[in-house]
Amino acid sequence: MIKLLIIGASGKMGKAVYAESKKYDNIEVVGGVDKYKDPEITYPLFDSLKDVNVDVDVIVDYSRPETLSDLLDFSTSKKVPAIICTTGFSDDQVAQIKEASKTVALFRSGNMSIGINVLNNILKQISNTLFENYDIEIIEKHHNQKVDAPSGTALLLGDTIREAIKGETEYVFGRSGNDCKRQKKEIGVHAIRGGSIVGEHEVIFAGASETIELKHTATSREVFAVGTMKAVLFMAGKETGLYNMDDVLNS
């Protein structure tokens, strides 16, 4: 039995992960961490990681970037693998995750959807070929309560595109002003916030006489919970290293 701890347990994704876990006979949520005590949660709920007093095999983190230090301290000191699903980290925090993965197994992904990660792999294959004759733009849409922009998924896709392209590229986040003529090296990234949109990501390759559009739409948070459970099964028992959804999909 894999004993699971959920950070951000009272949030929408925390609840979705718990609901998905009930479909597995070999996964048990033994505790959660959240300052807000949702009365519907029946398993032990702690104010912070420092208060956790149950045995844990894997951690799932759907919280905020400011929780990272406590998460890494807990994970490294107790040698518990952690699945980091939070986005909006600074460059310094990303470096902290990489350093910690030398002593404990960590998983980090900008999006836990299987579909998004399949799309990401397609971008690895086509971006360099198309770059010469196509302009590349990314549009992402989310609900009006999302705190970070652009989304972690938009950056996941954008970073993949930039890594695949052999020429020089740079991000342009939105455009305004009177001199916005597009430069070839630009990868445009645009964030839309409104209503209850779960998540939409579109990558546009715009050529002189044709346009290629790749789009992923999440209609429910369940898609992220499904991918999270696959990551839980993959990470259980891992000792060190930094992993992502590619490792899960290829396992």
pLDDT at position 134 is 98
Q: What is the mean pLDDT of residues 203-219?
A: 97
**pLDDT tens-digit readout, 25-73:** 999 999 999 999 889 999 999 999 999 999 999 999 999 999 999 999 9
The verdict on whether residue 86 carries a ligand-binding annotation is yes
Question: Pick from 109, 104, 103, 110: which is nearest to 82 by CA?
Answer: 104
pLDDT score of 88: 86
Query: What's the DSSP call for residue 62?
Result: -
pLDDT of 182 over the 90 cut: yes
Q: Please, what sign has the CA dihedral across residues 101, 221, 245, 206? A: negative
What is the share, in percent, of the chain residues with pLDDT greater than 90? 92
The answer to whether 201 is a known catalytic residue is no
pLDDT value of position 196: 95
- The pLDDT value recorded for residue 178 is 86
Say if residues 189 and 152 touch (Cβ distance below 8 Å).
no
- pLDDT digit string, tens, across residues 97-119: 999 999 999 999 989 999 999 99
Pair of tokens at residue 125 = 């294959």
Catalytic residue among 146, 185, 190, 238: 146
CA–CA distance, 68 with 62 (Å, rounded to integer): 11
pLDDT band at 177 (very low <50, low <70, confident <90, very high): confident
pLDDT of 245: 92
Beta pairing partners, 31: 5
State the pLDDT at residue 210: 97
Q: Which of 176-199 are b and which e, b meaning 16 or more Cβ less than 10 Å from the residue's Cβ? A: eeeeeeeeeeebbbbbeeeeebbb
Q: Is there a binding annotation on residue 188? A: no
Contacts with 1 (C-beta within 8 Å, 6 or more apart), sequence order: 26, 27, 28
Q: Give the chain's domains with CATH numbers.
A: 2-108+221-249 (3.40.50.720), 114-218 (3.30.360.10)
* Average pLDDT across the chain, whole number: 95
Task: Exactly one of 141, 142, 201, 216 is catalytic; name it.
Answer: 142
Burial of 123 (0-12, 13-18, 19+ CB in 10 A): buried
Mean pLDDT, residues 1-8: 98
* Residue 1 marked ligand-binding: no
Does the pLDDT value for residue 180 go beyond 90?
no
152 is in an annotated binding site: yes
- What are the tens digits of pLDDT across the range 233-248? 999 999 999 999 999 9
Mean pLDDT score, 135-154: 94
Q: Cβ distance 138 to 190 under 8 Å?
A: yes
Q: How many angstroms separate the Cα of 69 from the Cα of each of 52, 76, 92, 106, 179?
A: 16, 11, 11, 14, 42
What's 152-165 look like in SS3?
A: HHHHHHHHHHHHHC
| Residues 244, 147: Cα–Cα separation, whole Å | 23
Please confirm, yes or no, whether 146 is among the known catalytic residues. yes
